[in-house]
Amino acid sequence: MFSSVLLVILLTIGTYALPMNMSTLDTRGMFDKFTGKDIIIGYRWVDRNQAAAEINRYGTLRAIPATEQEKELVEGAYLSPSVVLRPEGLPSDYWECQITANDKLFLKRPMLFISDVEKVKKDTKAVTEYMSAHGIGAPDIPKTILFSEHLYAGGKTGYQMVIPPLYLEKSYYYSERKSGWGTNSLGIRAQCYQFGCPIREARNAQWGDWPITGWPKEGDNAGCKT
C-alpha cells in the first residue's frame, strides 16, 4: 500500500508532466487517432493572399464567405469531388485546397441531395423548405451537409457539396462579414496548393459511398455525373 507521502510525490510529478498550454493545443488529430481515419471529402478553390494563407496557417476550413458565383444554395464551404472539376471563371491567383475529415465524425452527420437545384437556387428560404419536406427536422437543418448538381469549367457536369458554417472555425480575416461559424467538430483538415501544382494523393472524394439521402442513381462513387 502506497504511503501518503509517495502518493503526493506521484501526483506532483503527473501534474508537472502535463503541457502547460494544454488548453491551446490543436485538437484536430485527437479524434481519428483512436476512433476513425481521415478521408478525402473534396476540394475547394480560394484566393491565395487571404483565404489560402489563413487555411494553411490553421490547417482547417474557416468560415470564409462563399463568393456570389459559387453560392448556389446557402452559406458554407462549397467543395468539388475532384481536382478536375473546377469552378467556372476561376481567377489565376486562386489556389486549390484538398479537404479531409474524420470518417467516424463526418459520415454521421445528416446529408441531403437537392434534386432540382434550379427551383431553390440562391434562395435560403426555399432550400430550408426543401430540407423540411424531405425529412430534415428543424434542429438538424443547420447541421445538414447539402449536395446538388453543378456545372463546372469546360462544360463539365458534376456535383457539389456545401459544408454549413456550424462545422467551420471562425475566420479572423473575414470576421467582419457576418456569415456565421461554429467549431471543427468533424476533424476537418485542409491544405492549399498553388493552382496547377500536383497535389499529393489527389484522389476523388467517394461521395457515392456515403449515406446521402436522395443521392442520384447516375452519380458515381467519385461524386461525378455519369
pLDDT digits (tens, 9 = 90+) for 135-148: 999 999 999 999 99
Name the amino acid, one letter, at 95: W
Note the pLDDT tens digit of each residue in 174-203.
655 556 889 999 999 999 998 767 666 678
pLDDT tens-place string over residues 60-119: 999 988 887 788 999 999 999 998 898 888 887 889 999 999 999 999 999 999 999 999
Task: Please report the pLDDT score of residue 31 as a whole number.
Answer: 45
Strands 111-114 and 38-47: what pairing?
unpaired
State the CB neighbour count (10 A cutoff) for residue 21.
7
Residue 22 CB coordination number (10 Å): 7
Torsion on CA atoms 206, 209, 213, 218, rounded to nearest 10? 80
Rounded Cα–Cα distance for residues 178 and 190 (Å): 22
User: What is the C-alpha to C-alpha distance for residues 66 and 75, in angstroms, rounded to an integer?
Assistant: 6
Q: Is the dihedral of CA 43, 49, 51, 54 positive or negative?
A: positive
Identify the residue with better confidence: 2 or 51.
Answer: 51
* 52 vs 57: CA distance, rounded Å: 8
Average pLDDT, the chain: 82
What are the residue boundaries of the structural domains of the chain, listed by start? Answer: 32-209
User: What predicted TM-score, i.e. pTM, was given to this entire model?
Assistant: 0.81
Nearest residue to 45 via CA among 86, 2, 1: 86
Class of domain 32-209 (CATH, top level)? alpha beta
Q: Is the pLDDT of residue 7 over 60?
A: no
User: Cα 51 to chain center, whole Å?
Assistant: 14
